[in-house]
Amino acid sequence: MKRNVLIIGAGGVAHVVAHKCAQNNARLGDINIASRTVGKCQAILDSIRDKSSLQQPGHLEAHALDAMDVDATARLIRATRSQIVINVGSPFLNMSVLQACIETGAAYLDTAIHEDPRKVCETPPWYANYEWKRRQACRDAGVTAVLGVGFDPGVVNAYARYAIDTCFDSVESIDIIDVNAGSHGRYFATNFDPEINFREFVSTVWSWENSAWKANAMFEHCKEWDLPVTGRSTTYLTGHDELHSMSQNLGVPNIRFWMGFGEHYINVFTVLKNLGLLSEQPVRTARGQEVVPLEVVKAVLPDPASLAPDYTGKTCIGDLVRGTKHGKPQEVLIYNICDHKACFEEVGSQAISYTAGVPAVAAAMLIADGTWDVREMANVEELDPVPFIALMNKMGLETRIKDARGDRVVEPERGAAFRPEVRMRANAR
């Protein structure tokens, strides 16, 4: 059993994580939150008190921390007696926070792949450049590290695993589809950290086709889907974190990621990119000041968390899985619908932050009670998806499945079997 949580970061996702930890503090214990700006952490704790989110009276505390500093992070983990660290700060922090967890024995969770500020769209599989290099260190220290446990990456990895385990004998393709049919009413904004959002597709975007990496240009491939609730949606093939682990762990020959973009987003993105304003490389101004154009663009765009009060509409994110069962072709869509307004009413956030934050807390709860406390590094598809999906159903993220039998809520605790041989394939690497 593990208790006491340290949340790193105080942005949109951290806001949801803090509220959901508070709603489950009987299981999780003390809640500490840290970022460089302690005022942001304090504001999140104030909103927990305003919404009376605590399940039972308990400890809430804000801290100032530069999480790039491994020693300072390790000291805070020890001082707060935190046994679980939920890293929802910027992805530039992953390796230092992970190192602090290895040194202190705390379990580690994050929701995005590690990034180097001066590189974009790295060589696949991206995890091998960073996190996976610490796999043996985690094993030696008996440290549980669950990577990429937001919605995508995260829940979509679990959906793939659940579909493989329960619906198919053999899987030919997984198309991950992410559509936000919501509206925030601003001229232009991104739904999470703009810097990270743009970095995802400012260069080569990778897909996994015929068991090999394929390099694509952004907006090169377009596909329309008819999805539940959000209806007909135009999406574009893009690169994404989860492809870098699912391609290595699941033995599925085709895994692609499709994201919905409106014409307005594409126009603004194209202008910014062609002007050089999305570059991660520093430039010098006439006054001799060195600036990173992408960081300037981030500074002038709306804070994604500030979109929440006016956001309306819904998201649909899921996996379309194709393969065979008993020799017959089979197609399954496993997905979630999330309503921006309902998220705001519950925790004061928009649905993109909500869908990323809830899974991280569900995973922390499964580590706390031992279910996912595997004492090594794992990507989400390597873990049993059944308790994860079942817990999220109770925490505000309901999983649905659409197949030849109809469209219904997934109740995974009923008869689903975890197939550990998939995990063994991953471990054999």
Catalog residues that contact ligand NDP under the rule CB under 6 A.
8-14, 35-37, 40, 65-68, 88-91, 93, 111-112, 150-154, 192-193, 196, 304-305, 352, 356
Query: CB of residue 64 vs ligand NDP: minimum separation in angstroms?
Result: 8
Q: Hunting for tokens 């809830």 — which residue is that?
A: 358
Query: CB of residue 106 vs ligand NDP: minimum separation in angstroms?
Result: 16
Tokens of 208: 């996994």
Looking at the Cβ atoms of 87 and 216, the one nearer to ligand NDP is: 87
Looking at the Cβ atoms of 330 and 353, the one nearer to ligand NDP is: 353
Query: CB of residue 415 vs ligand NDP: minimum separation in angstroms?
Result: 29
Neighbours of 310 (CB within 10 A): 14
3-state secondary structure of 291: strand
| Cβ within 8 Å of residue 39, ≥6 positions away | none
What is the spatial distance between Cα 146 and Cα 364, in angstroms, rounded to a whole number? 9
Tokens of 12: 């949109």
Q: 73: number of CA atoms within 13 Å, CB side?
A: 32
> Shortest CA distance to 231 belongs to which of 304, 325, 337?
337
Query: CB of residue 27 vs ligand NDP: minimum separation in angstroms?
Result: 22
Query: CB of residue 304 vs ligand NDP: minimum separation in angstroms?
Result: 5
Looking at the Cβ atoms of 358 and 368, the one nearer to ligand NDP is: 358
| Cβ within 8 Å of residue 4, ≥6 positions away | 28, 29, 30, 31, 32, 80, 81, 82, 83, 84
Looking at the Cβ atoms of 74 and 167, the one nearer to ligand NDP is: 74
Looking at the Cβ atoms of 107 and 307, the one nearer to ligand NDP is: 307
Query: CB of residue 351 vs ligand NDP: minimum separation in angstroms?
Result: 10
Looking at the Cβ atoms of 286 and 300, the one nearer to ligand NDP is: 300
